[in-house]
């Protein structure tokens, strides 16, 4: 989605649109290797306006994402929603040839006659992804010994409550 800078007025405008995000599947891995699979589109609600030369964007995005559980390695689908805000300021003419100062580090700049919102939407979507996706909060995961999915079956390992690393301590006598 692109918005002309000249068309952004001081009074807020609201738009709803679908943004194409399927290219994120290339970024986050393809096939069985990737942690996430993205749909072709994500729904975006956006309010935008200006104050002087600064451009303000506030909105939300949402869609169903497919993830791989970090405990049991099964694919599952989950809704993802995120609210976001962004302020763009005009890029200073000398910003490309000099280092940014401390006051400019948190700013986002624009220099073109139109704003392409696609990179901002993709960024917000990636920031909203869970660091450790879980199919369920109480997912028991896989057994480290035999690989059994502990959510569906019992462990096939020989049940031994004795840890061989602690054998030395069993020989100690107290008193």
Asked if pLDDT for residue 115 goes beyond 70, the answer is yes
Asked if pLDDT for residue 104 goes beyond 70, the answer is no
Q: Distance (Å, rounded) from C-alpha 10 to C-alpha 81?
A: 27
Q: Sign of the C-alpha dihedral, residues 108, 111, 116, 118?
A: negative
Per-residue pLDDT, 134 = 93
Asked if pLDDT for residue 132 goes beyond 70, the answer is yes
Please choose, from the candidates 164, 143, 163, the residue with its C-alpha nearest in 3D space to the C-alpha of residue 152: 143
Q: Distance (Å, rounded) from C-alpha 32 to C-alpha 65?
A: 15
Predicted TM-score (pTM) of the model is 0.73
Q: Are 55 and 73 in contact (CB under 8 A)?
A: no
* Cross-strand partners of 44: 17, 61
* Cross-strand partners of 2: 116
Q: Distance (Å, rounded) from C-alpha 61 to C-alpha 33?
A: 26
For residue range 45-90, what is the model confidence (pLDDT) as tens digits?
999 999 998 999 999 999 999 999 999 999 999 999 999 998 888 8
Per-residue pLDDT, 22 = 83
What one-character DSSP code corresponds to residue 27?
H
As a whole number, the mean pLDDT across the chain is 85
For residue range 6-48, what is the model confidence (pLDDT) as tens digits?
899 999 999 999 998 888 888 776 655 578 888 989 999 999 9
Using a 10 angstrom Cβ sphere, with 0-12 exposed, 13-18 middle and 19 or more buried, the burial of residue 156 is exposed
Where are the domains positioned within the chain?
2-140
């Amino acid at each position: 989605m692109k918005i002309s800078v000249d068309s952004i007025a001081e009074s807020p405008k609201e738009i709803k649109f679908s943004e194409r995000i399927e290219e994120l599947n290339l970024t986050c891995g393809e096939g069985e290797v990737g942690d996430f699979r993205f749909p072709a589109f994500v729904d975006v609600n956006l309010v935008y306006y200006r104050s002087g030369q600064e451009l303000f964007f506030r909105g939300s995005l949402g869609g169903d994402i497919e993830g791989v559980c970090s405990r049991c390695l099964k694919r599952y689908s989950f809704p993802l929603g995120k609210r976001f805000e962004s302020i763009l300021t005009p890029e200073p003419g000398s910003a490309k040839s000099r280092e940014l100062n401390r006051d400019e580090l948190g700013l986002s700049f624009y220099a073109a006659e139109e704003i392409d919102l696609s990179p901002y939407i993709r960024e917000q979507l990636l920031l909203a992804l869970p660091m450790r996706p879980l199919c369920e909060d109480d997912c028991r995961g896989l057994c480290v010994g035999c690989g059994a999915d502990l959510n569906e079956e019992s462990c096939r390992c020989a049940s031994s409550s004795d840890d061989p690393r602690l054998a030395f301590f069993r020989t100690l006598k107290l008193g």
